[in-house]
Structure 1
């Protein structure tokens, strides 16, 4: 029996509201900064009410960008980030779910060794192997290409491990029943495993999409052409200006726009995301 304690409920809600305010206030300040002129924040006084340059600032960044900093329009940068995030998320899920399916449902020599070799790559993130990876990408002529942005980041030992754990919870009787009904390996995979793994796929997609969208170091290394800049790179390049004051209204507008796609993905896939994280039984 759960006791009804109004004071504790009020206290819990106050703590939640305080937490939301602490998290949301910097975002609010960033939005306010994007609506004012470029010099309004240089005096040290931070206005807390919207200015009158909202439409001009956002349209300028979306259509023309900051030509003084060599930045292309944000629409192009957001498209590049979207292509990179979707390719990484879909590629990681596709490769990982097939790898986990082979490891769990097929009997072949050194099956456990294959899984542990995949799992050990968790100790080799892109930051650790960045020099040899860059050398390979450069030798293959993939600099300043979408392939160079995405292919080196497309494998995921974590996703393979998670799908393996999901497949291990599926009863063996289900596979035997499908075999008796004449279902081959691929039909069993497409018609049974994929629908049963929908929530897990959705949860991983949200995580991997945000991972791909927020990539900074790797795009910075393999991209020199402005037409392949991502929006996270754009924020950094706009803030690093020489012999001039950063135009904070444009920088903050870029930061606000950069937050929108990950937030929308989380909002639209929230139910599947939560189910995929807490689901333990099939």
Structure 2
């Protein structure tokens, strides 16, 4: 069985080791860049289940979802018009076909919070995300050591980024406190095999920390799949949005169904 996560993280660690751009040079002038809207606030303010619509060109297990030259600006603008609460942009190049330029272009065309979704192992990538217009960055618990989670999250917060900590198992929840995570995402996709377990989010939900926004990731093929995610603040949807011939209509249907999903009575305190 292919171990996608190990291979992808190994690539990013090799790439970071060859990166000769200094942290100091990337930090220069960063505080003059206006911050993006808050992902956490957008999720907690959503009346139902907020939709975070993703732009990713391909995946290692399923190949290309769209033509390689598909314009990110056109698609994320459709997401925004359809009522998505935020946008996620996948910036990994060799495995997902994305670039940091995709995120930068998205930031120029929408007012929504934007998540940089990548396999971040180096603090310089946080600074690049902030420069490109990200509101938040993804940190993947399964890809990092606890001390790396704490260090990267600290840098992210220092430079004005929110942290979306992605977990897959209950054993990874202790890292949410280390990261002071603004959003905790439960990925229903196993990143070693890329298979989806649609019950994973429900199993982990009750144990999620009350201070963070709660985001379900992966496994949503259409509006009917949202009913099982009561108690989450939002859902991140990638493949269904990218395969859609009419991204506006697809996201609009998801948004309307998400609005009718009532939150759990134990919903944590909103902002």
* TM-score tier (shorter): under 0.3
Say which structure is richer in helix. Answer: 1
Give TM-score scaled by structure 2 length: 0.24
> Which of structures 1 and 2 has the larger relative contact order (alpha carbons within 8 angstroms, sep 6+)?
1
Say which structure is richer in strand. Answer: 2
Please say which structure displays the higher CA radius of gyration: 1
